[in-house]
Structure 1
């Protein structure tokens, strides 16, 4: 098969004929997008900004990984997690009224057909080619199709097992990285797991029976309450009074004003270019990863804490090695990272869908210079502990729930402003028959010259890059849940917009993986590549302990 099927309209058609059991007329459920969900949805409409994929590479018996079995599992999961099978509806310009809508399948067979129409099997293409198409080709997803699945069967080598890739694509407004990993584990558990301890792997018939049971338990009797999971913002405390709301906004603004950052990667000179996401992966073997974990533990930090400083040192070394970079040690360096909101939720029913967006963000600020009197290793680990302190103080603050609400509102306001500009530009383009103008890269931040009597000078507040760190995903992918499946790789990334840049990291099967993605044409040639080289050297020098020549400042 060489082409992806055409997307469904979003509503599952009722079954035809009276011979099929369990067929009934289904209601449509809807929910307004939250501020944070809206901030992801609106920028994604034109180019698929931040659409993400999860990839699972594994070896398994061929009889275990058929198209039919994969579709049965996909159908069960789509029943359990309604956002996967939903769509987003919004009238032109009515940004605050954007709605998730979900029309459940009218029968188990309808659920299976929906899964089949939202998946595709390839035997003549490689996973890397499909991922390249997803990242840099025409957009695969849309407001009418919020998820999709590819199964790739690799060349058969004559062994009793075969290597496969399952790639699942999502719009970012319906999930985050943790939810995507959890869903991947559930998928593999259904595909290669058993109904109970000591029992064999589920047969096709058992999966079919499970699909029917799943549909019957949810839709044998039509539910009156919405099945779409409530947003993260509804699961954490909000302001109880007008005074508390105003006070939280004042605190949030004061906190944001303290985040200073004056470093960015230099942009390419051309203003007319096509966005192209490039992904580069680095992995460290088990011995190296063990050394990394041991060293971080001895220094009382996590790998995530240390990776911020790795980027800090890598940037300083890049600046020193490329004299042409316009930068200053006067300004600190800022990075941002996602934080999961799930640990802060109140207890929810065990059978409720976990598949929804539940992240907020925090900034980390570090100096952009090194003291001349201290050993670099001592400075490195001292800064790693400083990163840990910044993160702990932010997460444990009693203001965190209010900060989450205020940040979500700010992101939504900003997204709506840009969406209005985009829509007006698109409308003008349609009326004049001119091709759309590609978005221009953001100019470097500058501190404007103050007037003679200005009481305050504004400093730049821009992040060098973002980090998304999952720590040890072996806690999620429990191998004993699918003993006949040998999972060898899990990964993923996002579709970038102009100037986008993000570093993913996790530990899997005892190996540390770093996955760096950036919009390659946006930056001056060689600069990002040099930075990425310095990241690898920095991990080896400071965290593994193997010194390299040529890495000194």
Structure 2
């Protein structure tokens, strides 16, 4: 049964930039099958539960809208508007969710709508509407994205900003470490000196923006590598334009269109065969696993009308990074596991509260290796959401004796490693992921409806159930209720130099990477990764959402713990 799709619903959309073209009305269907309207071909599919859990909270202020900033030096001609637009268009043609739109019918019926481009020029025109050149420095780019008006909307799921500006040292996001580390200016200068083509290089900043419900960190960094690989390639502008024509011809003029056009939702990429018994067992296992999550530590918060996210960031020189990696390896852990222990020790030394309950920290789990659905190569986009979650629980105390503290630190790091590995290799990971998706989806729908009704002034508190049936016998044994408060989230990206193939764009010299997302009030997330041979640690948080000075003290303790234990 077809229905009218108005992809430009003004109630849900952030007003587009001047000149942004909204898609024409189209007739939609309930699957990936194509439909035609006004001479155009459209595909649409419903969002899965995990996508909905990110979409519904994002509607008002862009919570979780992702960004990736890269600072680099390159010859000016490689970053010209025409060349960038062509590369941006090629990749948008390969990855349809980047240029799709969203239409919401109901809280459990939200759809991606993709209009098939009618020509290569059509792809270019579409790319132009989501591309902007600026003259802002890195700090201004990131601050405007995180704290200014929302960049993305239902009709703009991705956006690209190129800036040719100079960094203002007074607003730099790089926080000087306790031991000397090259500044942002010296990083730029070093990168500029490493050019081999003899051409003058200029400083550029790029900001890649995307909704979280169309992808995750893996998609974002893979995309950035592909983008730089094309931009910094030996291909001329004319050859890149010919490549765009070939892409469009292969995908839309010569290929057979089928239901695999749009990437599948997470839950469909890791399907399970559900018998009644298996479904019941999965529910019980999930509930029991959730009961094991005990956390009683939290940063003291305060109420503030305005959210303001800041991202203090520090990087360590290559020689120190190598020494840290070597020390972690000798202790049998990774940098990622060590960062859990760093946060654990920093909190133990910061908090003045009770130490009886442990600290619970959460992180994302890449689920792409678990996908069992194979797609045709022509439709094999990596822009889709595929993350789960796991938790690390550690004691909230640490000895004041330095020797004992170091022994405790490495023990906690090994505990973090074991808990992370156990989550990734658990035999019931897929069923737990499916159950978590159901729970997150249901919660997001309920909260989304409540938020909308409160905004309209029509919300009423739920009344006690009038159900007179006797309560069911509980499935699980009775247990004392315990808190499951999360202290902090960690986004541990690992060695990004394994994802960025620097040799493929040798004329572009990367020197800086910062990533994150727009946050809700009172949110906090620590990032850790290695990039261009350096360890980077950043803390994105709402500086108005916490008691004054408490996060500054925690961040200082984190840096001191890195100095003390990692060297």
Give the TM bin, normalised by the shorter chain.
0.7 to 0.9
Partner in structure 2 of residue 21 of structure 1: none
Partner in structure 1 of residue 492 of structure 2: 469
**Contact 2:162 2:207 (C-alpha < 8 Å) held by counterparts:** yes
Match of 1:210 among 232, 243, 263: 243
Deviation per CA, 1:85-125, whole angstroms, max 9, x where unpaired? 0011012xx11110011002211001001111111111x33
Cα 1:455–1:33 change in 2 (3 A) is closer
How far apart in 2 are the matches of 1:143 and 1:31? 15
User: What is the RMSD of the two structures over their aligned residues, measured on CA atoms?
Assistant: 2.2
Match of 1:266 among 279, 300, 303: 300
How far apart in 2 are the matches of 1:520 and 1:310? 21
Matched residue SS, 2:328: helix
Q: CA deviation at 1:46?
A: 0.3
Deviation per CA, 1:277-321, whole angstroms, max 9, x where unpaired? 1111011111111111001111111111110010000001112xx
Higher mean C-alpha deviation, range 160-169 or range 342-351: 342-351
Matched residue SS, 2:346: helix
Partner in structure 2 of residue 163 of structure 1: 203
Once the two structures are superposed, the pairs formed by residues 227-246 of structure 1 within 5 Å of their partners are 227-246=261-280
Partner in structure 1 of residue 340 of structure 2: 308
Partner in structure 1 of residue 390 of structure 2: 362
How far apart in 2 are the matches of 1:510 and 1:175? 26
Higher mean C-alpha deviation, range 157-166 or range 413-422: 157-166
How far apart in 2 are the matches of 1:313 and 1:350? 47
1:178 is aligned to 2:207: no
1:154 is aligned to 2:165: yes
Higher mean C-alpha deviation, range 226-235 or range 65-74: 226-235
Deviation per CA, 1:511-534, whole angstroms, max 9, x where unpaired? 000121011111001000110111
Match of 1:8 among 18, 21, 44: 21
Match of 2:227 among 176, 187, 197: 187
Cα 1:383–1:180 change in 2 (3 A) is same
How far apart in 1 are the matches of 2:538 and 2:276? 44
Q: CA deviation at 1:10?
A: 4.1
Partner in structure 2 of residue 68 of structure 1: 82
Q: CA deviation at 1:168?
A: 1.0
Partner in structure 2 of residue 387 of structure 1: 416
Q: CA deviation at 1:372?
A: 7.5
How far apart in 2 are the matches of 1:355 and 1:7? 23
Cα 1:335–1:516 change in 2 (3 A) is same
Higher mean C-alpha deviation, range 369-378 or range 58-67: 369-378
Match of 1:488 among 506, 511, 515: 511
Matched residue SS, 2:44: strand
How far apart in 1 are the matches of 2:479 and 2:236? 70
**Contact 1:341 1:358 (C-alpha < 8 Å) held by counterparts:** yes
Match of 1:118 among 130, 133, 144: 130
Partner in structure 1 of residue 525 of structure 2: 502
**Contact 2:146 2:517 (C-alpha < 8 Å) held by counterparts:** yes
Q: CA deviation at 1:504?
A: 1.2
Matched residue SS, 2:520: coil
Once the two structures are superposed, the pairs formed by residues 252-291 of structure 1 within 5 Å of their partners are 252-268=286-302, 271-291=303-323
**Contact 2:260 2:375 (C-alpha < 8 Å) held by counterparts:** no
**Contact 1:154 1:162 (C-alpha < 8 Å) held by counterparts:** no
Once the two structures are superposed, the pairs formed by residues 402-417 of structure 1 within 5 Å of their partners are 402-417=431-446
Cα 1:58–1:255 change in 2 (3 A) is same
**Contact 2:136 2:166 (C-alpha < 8 Å) held by counterparts:** no
Matched residue SS, 1:334: strand
1:514 is aligned to 2:546: no
**Contact 1:174 1:357 (C-alpha < 8 Å) held by counterparts:** yes
- For normalisation by structure 1, the TM-score amounts to 0.85
Match of 2:552 among 529, 540, 543: 529
Matched residue SS, 1:370: coil
Match of 1:333 among 326, 348, 359: 359
Matched residue SS, 1:304: helix
How far apart in 1 are the matches of 2:273 and 2:552? 45
Q: CA deviation at 1:126?
A: 2.3
How far apart in 1 are the matches of 2:367 and 2:415? 22
Q: CA deviation at 1:8?
A: 3.2
Match of 1:295 among 311, 327, 345: 327
**Contact 1:239 1:245 (C-alpha < 8 Å) held by counterparts:** no
Match of 1:47 among 61, 79, 84: 61
Match of 1:137 among 148, 152, 155: 148
Partner in structure 2 of residue 547 of structure 1: none
Task: Identify unmatched segments of 5+ residues in structure 1.
Answer: 14-23, 194-200, 320-324, 432-453, 545-553
How far apart in 2 are the matches of 1:367 and 1:464? 12
Q: CA deviation at 1:209?
A: 0.1
Deviation per CA, 1:250-297, whole angstroms, max 9, x where unpaired? 0111111011000110012xx341111111101111111111100111
**Contact 1:260 1:460 (C-alpha < 8 Å) held by counterparts:** yes
Cα 1:224–1:457 change in 2 (3 A) is closer
Partner in structure 1 of residue 4 of structure 2: none
Matched residue SS, 2:312: strand
Aligned pair count reads 491
Cα 1:479–1:5 change in 2 (3 A) is farther
How far apart in 2 are the matches of 1:272 and 1:297? 43
1:82 is aligned to 2:96: yes
Q: CA deviation at 1:128?
A: 2.2
